[in-house]
Amino acid sequence: MAEFFAAHALLPTGWAANVRIACDAAGRINEVTPGAAPGAARRLRGHVIPGIANLHSHAFQRAMAGGAERRSPAGRDSFWTWRETMYRFALSITPEDAEAIAAQLYAECLERGFTQIAEFHYLHHAPDGSAYADRSEMAQRLFAAAATTGMGITMLPSLYRHGGIFGAPPHDGQRRFLNDLDGFHAILERVRATAAAQPHAAWGVAPHSLRAVTPAMLEAMAALDCPIHIHAAEQEKEVEECLAATGLRPVEWLLRNTPLDRRWVLIHATHMTAEETRALAATGAVAGLCPSTEASLGDGIFPLPDYLAAEGRLGFGTDSHVGICPAAELRQLETSQRLALELRSVATDEARPHPGRGLLERALAGGAQACGVAMGGIAPGLRCDLVELDDEHPTLVGRQGDGLLDAWCFGPADRMVRSVAVGGQVVVEGGRHIREGAIRENFSRTMKRLGA
C-alpha cells in the first residue's frame, strides 16, 4: 500500500488542497481525503493531476522522428511520400531494436505525464515477411519495454491484409504487417495471455483502416468485447478512394456498416462532413486525435467546434512521435483551430472557460475509455496514476489551479513535470525517469546501428 500527500490535486469535483491519496497493493486508489494531514505519506509539493492515456502509438516510429523531413526528388511531399520512407525504415527494425526504441519512447512519455499507451501495433513479422517462431514476438518486445519503464500499455495488434479499399493487393513495403484472420488470431491469443499476466496491461484490436481490411474482417473484429481502434479519414485522398470504391466517405461507411459504440476509437477522423461529425459524436465512440503528427504529415484540421457542440468524446495520441508531450498535443489542437478560424479559446464554453482544463478533462476521459483501463481521475477505484507538475518551473511559478493548467499547455518550455507514479509506483523523480541512463544507452546503440 502506498500513500501520497498532494498540496493541490485535481479531483473529479475540482481542485482540492492537502489531499491524502491511498492505494492498495494492486495500485488502485482506495481512499482520497482532502484537507488531511500528511502523516507518513510521500509529499507532492506541486499541483497534481491524473496520469493521461496516450491512445495512439506506433512505437518504432520514434526512431525516425525528425528524420523524414528532407524534400523528395519529385517534390510535392505529402503523407503518401512520407509513408514510403516509413515503409523502408520499418524493414530495418529487429525485435531488439523495437524493444530499445519503445523503452526510450515510454520513458520520455512518462516524463511528460502519459501513464498508459495504446500500441497500434502492425510491425508483426520478420523483414522478409515470414512469421517469427512466436508470432507475437514484436508485441512481446513492446510489453517488455512497458514493464522496464513502468508504463501502462494497451496492446492493439493490428489486422492488415490489403493495400487499398476492400481487396487491393498490398504494397511490398507492407510485407511485415500482413496477416489473414487465422494468423491475426494466433497473435491476439498470445497478446491476451501476456496482458492478463503483466501489471497495468490491457488489450484490444486494431483493424488498420478500410484500406487494409475487408468488411468480413471488420465484422469479426466488431464481435469482440474490447477496444477497437481504426484509422479513418486521415487524408483527402483516402476519402476520394473510399468514395470511388463504395460511394461513401470512410466515416460515413463505418457509421452505416459497423456497430460503432463506446468500444470504438476512430483515429484522426480529420475529414468529416458536419453530418458525419454529429453522427460520430452520438455513437459514444472516441475520436483519437494526434495533433502534432497530423500537423507534421499535412493531414488537415479536425472539425473541433462542431464535434464539441455535439458532445463528442475525444482523446489524444502521439502516433509518429514527432511530439511526445500531452500538453503539446492539447496546445497543437487548440492553436490549429485558432489559425483556421481566426479565433481564440476555441475549446471552451461557459462551464469550461480555461482551455487547458477543458482539454485535459476530455483527454482523461476519452483516453481511459479508448485504452479500456480504469484510470483518468484521482478517485477511489481508479488506478493510482499521479503527475506532479513542477510549480517552481519558470512557466508555472506563481500560478494556481486552472491558470496553472493553461500555462502548462500554452506557456513556453517543456519538461514541467516533477514526478510521476503509475499504479502507486514512482517511475519519474526530479523530472527524469528512474532508469533513464540504461534506457538511453540502449537506444543510442540502436540508433547508431540503424544509421538513423
CA distance 402 to 355: 9
- CB count in 10 Å sphere of residue 444: 12
Q: Where are the alpha helices (DSSP H) in 43-93?
A: 79-90
Residues with catalytic function: 268, 319
> Are residues 278 and 243 in contact, defined by beta-carbon separation less than 8 angstroms?
no
pLDDT value at position 452? 62
pLDDT band at 166; cut points 50, 70, 90 = confident
Cβ-contact 5, 41 below 8 angstroms: yes
Phi/psi region, residue 206 (left: phi>0; alpha: psi -120 to 50; beta: rest), is beta
Give me 271's grid cell. Answer: 475529414
Which residue, 430, 412, 414, 433, is CA-closest to 422?
A: 433
What is the pLDDT of the chain when averaged over all its residues? 97
- The whole-number average pLDDT for the span 288-307 is 98
pLDDT digits (tens, 9 = 90+) for 355-375: 999 999 999 999 999 999 999
Q: Whole-angstrom distance between the N-terminal and C-terminal Cα of the chain?
A: 43
Q: 12-36 burial, b for 16+ CB within 10 Å, e for fewer?
A: eeebbeebbbbbeeebbbeebeeeb
Cα–Cα distances (Å) from 323 to 46, 116, 151, 244, 284, in that order, read 24, 16, 18, 34, 27
**pLDDT tens, residue by residue, 29-71:** 999 999 999 999 999 999 999 999 999 999 999 999 999 999 9
pLDDT band for position 413 (50/70/90)? confident
List all residues 6 or more positions away from 75 whose beta carbon is below 8 Å from its beta carbon. none
> Is the pLDDT score of 251 beyond 70?
yes
The helix (H) or strand (E) run that includes residue 57 is: strand 52-57
Q: What's the confidence (pLDDT) of residue 423?
A: 98
- How do strand 152-159 and strand 114-121 relate by DSSP bridges? parallel
Of 33-47, 89-103, 159-173, 321-335, which range is least confident? 159-173
Per-residue model confidence (pLDDT) at position 167 = 83
Q: Can you tell me the mean pLDDT for 309-333?
A: 98
Q: What percentage of the chain exceeds 90 in pLDDT?
A: 97
